[in-house]
Structure 1
């Protein structure tokens, strides 16, 4: 599918006030499929094209070939094309031939629309508000008359929506006001699902580690070795997140990374054997990538 048609699909969806997720739900396809259509990576099949045309209230030809087709038909009937329409058609043709360069479309009716196929980024400023998406990172922000909608769909992202009745929905849970949401979330916006998880994460563990470090240093003089206590802090909070959300992959990710770093520093600073202990550091990004892949597969399975 060419970029011009992909751009038409984006414009039609925006004009209908639909997000990619909302459109996918109406068509019965995944959000990734809609994203690929709009990035010109794949084409909708015949059934989906018919469904899109019906949803947007346009003919199939208009959806496939744009306004140029209807303009040509009207010209045969004796109507003339205005100078503005001709210029707009030329601009669209220029955009269609620009390959992977960022596409820019500015008009009074549609507003300002910028899409960068290389980065998967899209910005639209129009009568229905401001809409920014980054498909590769799974991020979407919309600010308009219907409220504020923020979605960061990746691993540790959050979903925030303001509702017509004044309530706020964060990560699927609705709060009566921003104040209530603030009271139930910590200052990082982290949402606690259980009382045990909230209590665990609220405990001032870093202060306890600092106290233990001072005691070990003053009593036993182990100031250098005592620094390894710092590695307990991320492990502590990783276990807290596991207790609260039961995400085993995140626990493995943090514990393995911290353990590998601590082991390397111990071999290097205490035993003076950095080689071949440094090899274990190479495995950290491999384990992180594997755990990230596991989380994505699990999320896809939950959405299916």
Structure 2
């Protein structure tokens, strides 16, 4: 799908007062699918195009070709000169863009606003009547500031979607909060959302402080300062368990616990038993297990979107 059509989809959605989440819900698709349409990474299928045209109250030709559809009658009446001039203009524009080399492409229009695309960096900035829209394809980030509020979207697996509404409510990752205070109470400082009270209490408990106190106690009372360092590996395991309790993501539990367990076992074999070889082989399995868990998450995500 070309960039002009992608921008028309963005403009139509914003003119209808819909967020990407709301549009996705009406069409029965994922928010990521809508975002990819509007970033020209993929195209809606025929059914979704028809649904979009009906939702926005425009013809399919107008949605696909914009103002070109309204000019079709003039072309049919024999306005060959106009067509020739348009072709010449397009050729001239193409030549100008070709001369730009690696420079960003800039389009300035009173109707469309200011549009800047840097294909090398994967960045795009649009300033128009609907607001300011900034995207970074390489980082999977999107920011929109307009009359409807602020919309921030990171499209990666562990990213977040933030949208402020005119009534003061906040939507984060599809869940609405009555205020920023309520959102802050239910999220940690990394933006992780707690789905259960047990998960929230588990993750907010100062477990690292408890580990430090236990290490000092073992060192002072039993004199096991070196061996006591293995308690440090309980910290990632503790928070991985908390995340599993709150979200029930088994792959992320394995993704966090396995590296900690493998490193702990290797260090034990090395420092306590003096057998670093062949114990080091366990370290090679860590990236394999992490890649496998990442693949499992992607497969599960695709199944949910299907």
**Residues 242, 251 of structure 1: 8 Å contact kept:** yes
**Residues 12, 56 of structure 1: 8 Å contact kept:** no
1:22/1:115 Cα in 2 relative to 1: closer, same or farther (>3 Å)? farther
Identify the match of residue 276 of structure 2 among 252, 274, 277: 274
1:107 is aligned to 108
1:119/1:233 Cα in 2 relative to 1: closer, same or farther (>3 Å)? same
**Residues 62, 68 of structure 2: 8 Å contact kept:** no
1:173/1:7 Cα in 2 relative to 1: closer, same or farther (>3 Å)? closer
Q: How does 1:1-304 map to 2 (within 5 A)?
A: 6-18=2-14, 57=58, 60=61, 63=64, 70=71, 73=75, 76=79, 90-92=92-94, 94-95=96-97, 104-109=105-110, 110-115=112-117, 121-135=123-137, 138-304=140-306
C-alpha distance in 2, partners of 1:101/1:208?
55
C-alpha distance in 1, partners of 2:175/2:32?
24
TM-score for both structures, normalised by structure 1: 0.77
1:155/1:31 Cα in 2 relative to 1: closer, same or farther (>3 Å)? closer
**Residues 21, 31 of structure 2: 8 Å contact kept:** yes
C-alpha distance in 1, partners of 2:251/2:177?
29
C-alpha distance in 1, partners of 2:268/2:33?
48
1:41/1:255 Cα in 2 relative to 1: closer, same or farther (>3 Å)? same
Secondary structure at 1:16 match in 2: helix
Q: CA offsets, 1:146-179, max 9 Å, x none?
A: 1011223433322221112111122333222212
1:286/1:8 Cα in 2 relative to 1: closer, same or farther (>3 Å)? same
Q: Shift of residue 68 of structure 1?
A: 12
Q: Shift of residue 32 of structure 1?
A: 6.0
Q: Which moved more, 1:100-109 or 1:145-154?
A: 100-109
C-alpha distance in 1, partners of 2:299/2:156?
12
Q: Shift of residue 236 of structure 1?
A: 0.5
Q: CA offsets, 1:10-65, max 9 Å, x none?
A: 22123324576666666666666666667777666666666667758477499469
Q: Shift of residue 296 of structure 1?
A: 2.4
C-alpha distance in 1, partners of 2:38/2:179?
35
Q: Which moved more, 1:149-158 or 1:86-95?
A: 86-95
Q: Which runs of 5 or more residues in structure 1 are unaligned?
A: none
Q: Shift of residue 204 of structure 1?
A: 1.3
Number of positions where the alignment pairs a residue of Structure 1 with one of Structure 2: 297
Q: Which moved more, 1:47-56 or 1:253-262?
A: 47-56
**Residues 168, 175 of structure 1: 8 Å contact kept:** yes
**Residues 17, 128 of structure 1: 8 Å contact kept:** no
**Residues 147, 162 of structure 1: 8 Å contact kept:** yes
Q: Which runs of 5 or more residues in structure 2 are unaligned?
A: none
Secondary structure at 1:196 match in 2: helix
**Residues 24, 34 of structure 1: 8 Å contact kept:** yes
1:128/1:69 Cα in 2 relative to 1: closer, same or farther (>3 Å)? closer
